[in-house]
Amino acid sequence: MIKSLFSIVSLTFFLLLGNVSAQQYEFGVSGVATGYMGDLNPVNPLYYKNMGGGLFVKYNLNPTWGIRASLNYLPLYANDADFSAQHQKERKLLFNNDLKELSVTADFNFFKFIAGRATNRNTPYLMAGLALIHHSPYVYSNDQKIHLNNHPLEIDDKDAYVSYSKWALSIPVGVGFKHNISGPWTIGAEVNYRTVLSDHIDNVSQYYRYETSRLPDAWAYMADPNGQLDMKGGTSRGNGKNMDGYMTAGITLTYTIISKKCYWWK
């Protein structure tokens, strides 16, 4: 189902590239700081640890409303060692995750915005929509990159090993401000938060698995760096919430193709 949605959204993205002479389009790039909230960061909305970026195309329905399709690369990182909570100091988990995101959002300008004109050159705006992400949390062990979803490090409340898809949906919501520098060029600043309809982008969710004599040492270490699975097996490993999240804050640079056939130019 998710792969079918990916195909539909991809088709929408490329259809927006066609027939650029008929309406007003924007093509842009973004550079952002990336952060994460979830089981390893339950409290700090300013926990930005990486840099990412993306490309986008926007179709302006009018000077107030627009539809944007974006492709983003958003690395995430978190470490229990960055937080003061005692259970995190004792848990000692960390993760990396390089998210690939395809999103479609609706943008609402508070003021009319028409690039290339002497007036209507500034506006704050809101955005919200739906995104599809591909992700695979990982750590490094002895300089080797290990994808954590390949290893059953947790169990659920029925003692079954936890597995999850590399695909997930998220709901982006954001605010921004943009200024038309000159002609077709516009610069902006934007902050976004995405709620993920999954609790697995950090590979921490449910309960410690039980130690067994057949469990490889490397797996046991990733499940619990303290080496105490015999005591912790079946106890909570995550914070009990069902959804993770990630955020971005950065700048955008946009080039607008303007057709004076658009009614707001008349």
Q: Give the per-residue pLDDT at 2.
A: 47
Taking residues 218-232, report their average pLDDT: 87
Q: Give the per-residue pLDDT at 143.
A: 83
3 state SS of 123 = strand
- Domains observed in the chain: 2-261 (2.40.160.20)
Residue 169, pLDDT above cutoff 60? yes
- Identity of the amino acid at 5: L
CA distance 54 to 11: 18
Considering the chain, what is the average pLDDT of its residues? 88
Residues pairing with 127 in the sheet: 107, 174
Which two structure tokens, joined as six digits, stand for 96? 């990396």
Residue 74, pLDDT above cutoff 50? yes
DSSP 210: P
Query: By C-alpha distance, which of 169, 183, 188, 71 is closest to 125?
Result: 188
Residue 263, pLDDT above cutoff 60? no
> Which ranges of the chain would DSSP assign to H, the alpha helix?
2-15, 86-91, 217-223, 229-232
Residue 54, pLDDT above cutoff 90? yes
CB 249 within 8 A of CB 53: no
CA distance 120 to 97: 40
Taking residues 58-70, report their average pLDDT: 94
Residues pairing with 78 in the sheet: 95
Taking residues 77-98, report their average pLDDT: 95
Which one has a higher pLDDT value, 124 or 15?
Answer: 124
189 confidence band (pLDDT: 50, 70, 90): very high
Cβ–Cβ contacts within 10 Å for residue 18, how many? 8
Taking residues 1-5, report their average pLDDT: 50
CB 175 within 8 A of CB 191: yes
Lowest-confidence segment of 34-48, 106-120, 185-199 by average pLDDT: 106-120
Scored b (16 or more CB within 10 A) or e, 200-218 reads bbbbbbbbbbebeeeeeee
> Which ranges of 32-167 would DSSP assign to H, the alpha helix?
86-91
CB 227 within 8 A of CB 220: yes
259 confidence band (pLDDT: 50, 70, 90): low
In which residue are the tokens 């960061």 written? 41
Q: Give the per-residue pLDDT at 48.
A: 98
Q: Give the per-residue pLDDT at 131.
A: 98
User: For 94-121, what is each residue's pLDDT tens digit?
Assistant: 999 999 999 999 999 999 998 878 788 8
In which residue are the tokens 């506006």 written? 123
Please state, in angstroms and as integers, the Cα–Cα distance from residue 241 to each residue in 180, 185, 197, 233, following that order.
42, 43, 11, 19
Query: By C-alpha distance, which of 210, 193, 207 is closest to 248?
Result: 193
Percentage helix, strand, coil for the chain under 3-state DSSP, each rounded to 5: 15, 45, 40
User: For 11-32, what is each residue's pLDDT tens digit?
Assistant: 554 554 444 444 489 999 999 9
Q: Give the per-residue pLDDT at 242.
A: 86
Q: Give the per-residue pLDDT at 15.
A: 52
User: For 227-252, what is each residue's pLDDT tens digit?
Assistant: 888 889 899 999 878 899 999 999 99
Residue 199, pLDDT above cutoff 50? yes
Please state, in angstroms and as integers, the Cα–Cα distance from residue 11 to each residue in 17, 171, 205, 233, following that order.
10, 20, 33, 46
